[in-house]
Structure 1
Amino acid sequence: MSFFKTTTAAVALGAGLLLSAMAQAHPKLVSSTPAEGSTSTAPSKIELHFSENLTAQFSGAKLIMTDMPGMPNSPMGVKANVSGSDDPKTMVITPAAPLTTGTYKVEWRAVSSDTHPVTGSLVFNVK
C-alpha cells in the first residue's frame, strides 16, 4: 500500500510540473513600441516584444484606427505589413502609409512552440 501511495504522489507531482511548464510556455506581451496608452508622433513601425520565440506562420496582427478627430468611434482597418524581426520574440507591424492623428488599436495573436494561440490588444494615440 505504501508503494501505491508513493507512486501516485510521484505521478501527481510529475503531472503538476508538466502542466506548469506548459503554462509557462505561452507567449506573453512584455513590451511594445509605442507603449500601451502612449501618445506620440506617428511611428513608422510598431514593435511587439514577447516572452517566447514566435512561430511566424501562426502569429499575426491587425492595425485598426478606432478614433479620429471629428469622427469618434469610427473603427476602420489600416493596411499594414506584419513580419518578424531579427529577434524571434518580436513582431513588427509596418503601416503601408504614415499614420494620421487618432487612436489606434493593435489586435495581435501570438503562437510559440507550444502551438497554443494567445491573443491580446494594445491601444496608442498619434498626435
Structure 2
Amino acid sequence: MSRSHLIAKIIAPMVAGLISTAAFAHPSLLSSAPTDKSQITAPKTIELKFSETLVTQFSGANLIMTGMPGMPGHGEMKINANVSGAGDGKTMTITPNSPLAAGNYRVDWRAVSSDTHPVTGQITFEVK
C-alpha cells in the first residue's frame, strides 16, 4: 500500500466523523439579555443568543411572571409578548406587548436547529 493510500485511509474516517458531528449539533444558549438571575429595570426586549441557526417555525419562548412584590400568593401569569428571530438567525427576541411591572419573571425557551431536535431551557430575572 502506498503512503498516500495509507494517509487517505486514516484521514477519511476522521473527516467523516467531523462532518457527522456538525450535522447533529444541538443549539445551546450562549448568552441572554438580561442575564440569568439578574436584577434589572424593565427591559423593552429580551434576547437569547444560540450557538446554531434556529428554525424559527419550531422555536419559541414564553414569558411568565412568577411573583409580584407584596402579593405572596400570586400565581404564575403568562405575559403577552411577540417572539421573533433576528437577522443573524441565531438570536431569539421576546418583546413584551406592554411594559413589565416590578416582579420576578421566567423565560421558557425552545430552540430547534437544522437537526430538528428541540432543546429547552429557561432564564429568570427580577424587574425592580
Q: Smaller-chain TM-score range? A: 0.7 to 0.9
Unaligned runs of 5+ in 2: 1-9
Instruction: Quote the residue 1:40 is aligned against.
Output: 40
Give me the CA root mean square deviation.
2.1
Cα contact 1:80–1:96 (8 A) shared by 2: yes
Instruction: Quote the residue 2:88 is aligned against.
Output: 87
Cα contact 1:27–1:112 (8 A) shared by 2: yes
Cα contact 1:67–1:74 (8 A) shared by 2: yes
SS at match of 2:32: strand
In 1: Cα distance, 2:18 partner to 2:50 partner: 22
Name the % identity: 60
Instruction: Quote the residue 2:120 is aligned against.
Output: 119
Corresponding pairs, count: 115
Runs of 4+ in 1 over 6 A off after TM superposition: none
Instruction: Quote the residue 2:69 is aligned against.
Output: 69
TM-score normalised by structure 2 residue count: 0.82
Cα contact 1:64–1:78 (8 A) shared by 2: yes
TM-score normalised by structure 1 residue count: 0.82
Cα contact 2:81–2:97 (8 A) shared by 1: yes
| Post-superposition offset of 1:19 | 9.8
Amino acid corresponding to residue 61 of structure 2 in structure 1? A
